[in-house]
Amino acid sequence: MKVRNIKKKRVVVAMSGGVDSSVAAALLKDQGYDVIGITMQIWPAFVPRTSAGKPDLAKLSSDDPSGKHESCCSLSAVEDARRVADLIGIPYYVLNFQDIFKKKVIDDFISEYNRGRTPNPCIRCNQYIKFDALLKKALELDADHISTGHYAKAEKEGGRYVLKKADDRNKDQSYALYTLSQEALSMTLLPLGCIEKKETRKIAKKLGLAVADKPDSQEICFIPGNDYAEFFKRVSPETIKPGPIVDVKGNVIGMHGGIQFFTIGQRKGMGLARPEPTYVVKIDQKTNTLVVGSKGDVLGDELILGEINLVSVDKIEGPVKVRAKIRYNAEDADATLYPLDDKIKLRFDEPQHAITPGQSAVFYRGDVLVGGGIIEKGTS
C-alpha cells in the first residue's frame, strides 16, 4: 500500500536572537511545522566606539568591527539566533532589509522628530518590515505562515481575523501590532500569546537554549545607547536649532538646544531652575519653541487619530465605548470613539497624561483590539 506524503505547513519565524522568538520557533517545530528561521539585517551590525567606550556615530559603518551595537540586528543577535536554529534543527538565513528599513523606519523617525512629533519606530517596523517585506519573502519561500515572538493572539472569529491581548497582561504586545492587515493576520502565528514570559524562559532552559536568561532589549535598535542627541547630531545636524522655552502664558524662561531632544510630558533636560516640576506641554515646530508648564497642563481628555487601521471591524458607526491607551506602557482607560470621515476622535472619560502627536493610540472591546491610529493632535 502506497503511503501518501503529507506536506507539512511551512512557517517563517522572524528570529531576533532573543528568548521570545527563539522559543516561538522551537514551539512551532515541536508542533510539526516546517520551520525556517530568518533574521532581518536592518541596521549595521557594528558601531565603533570612542576612547571613552561610547558609540561613535560619526564612524558608523556596517563593515567596521571595532565595537558591537547590541540590538535585534547586531552580529551577536545573529550568532545567538543561528545557534538556536542549529540546536532545534531548522534552516536559518540572514536577509538584508537595510534599504527598506532606512526608508520606512529610520527616515520617518528623523522626519517626525524634526516636526516636533514623537513616532513609534517599532510599530512601523512591524507594519512595513516584519509583516510586509518579510511576509512577501515568506510567500516566495512557499510558506503558509509567518511568526514572531510577540505576546498577543491572532485568531479568526466570524469570518474576520482579530488580534487579542496576550494571557500575560504584563507582556501584552497587541498595541504594537494594530497596523496588521487582514492578509497579514490570516498568515500570522503567535505561539507565545497563551503563555507567560516566565514560562517562556523555563521552556528555553529546558531546551538548553543559551538565550534563556538573555535580557529583553530596552532601546531603539538603531540608536546605540539610546543616545538621541548623538544620533541627531550625526544624521540631521542641519535641522538642530536652539530656540526659546516659554511658559503657558508665553513668557520666555529659557533656551533649548533643539526640539528633536524633547517629547510631550518630558520633565528633564531643559536646564530650567524652577521651584516646581516643569513638563513639556507643547512643541511648536513652526516657531521652534518649547511650551512648558505644570503637571496639570499636560493632562488632556481628547485627541484626533489619523492613519486609522481597523482590525476587528470593517467600520465604526456612531459613538462606540472602548478601552483605549495612548502609548505602549500606558494603562487602558474608558473612552468613546467618534468617527470623523477618515479620522477618529477619541474622548477619554478621565484626563490622560501627555497625549503625544506621532504616537499611536489603540482601542479595545474586552480582549479584542478594535483598531488604532496615529495621534495627530490632542487637548491639554
So which residues are the catalytic ones? 125, 221
DSSP string, 18-78: SHHHHHHHHHHHHTT-EEEEEEEE-S-SB--B-TTSSB-GGG--TT--SSB--STTSHHHH
Q: Are 80 and 210 in contact (CB under 8 A)?
A: yes
For residues 130-168, b (16+ Cβ closer than 10 Å) or e, as one string? bbbbbbebbeeeebbbbbbbbbbbbeeeeeebbbbbbbb
Sign of the dihedral defined by the CA atoms of residues 236, 237, 238, 244, in that order: positive
**Cell 506536506, residue located:** 7
Q: Work out the number of other CB atoms within 10 angstroms of the CB of residue 5.
A: 6
SS3 271: coil
Please answer whether residues 153 and 146 qualify as being in contact, where contact means their C-beta atoms are separated by less than 8 angstroms.
no
Q: Count how many residues are written for the chain.
A: 380
DSSP annotation string for 192-216 = TTTS-HHHHHHHHHHTT-TTTTPPP
CA separation (Å) from 68 to 46, 101, 225?
5, 20, 11
Half-sphere exposure of 67 (CA within 13 A, CB side): 17
- Helix orientation angle between 228-235 and 107-114, rounded to the nearest 10 degrees: 100
Pairing of strands 92-96, 10-14: unpaired
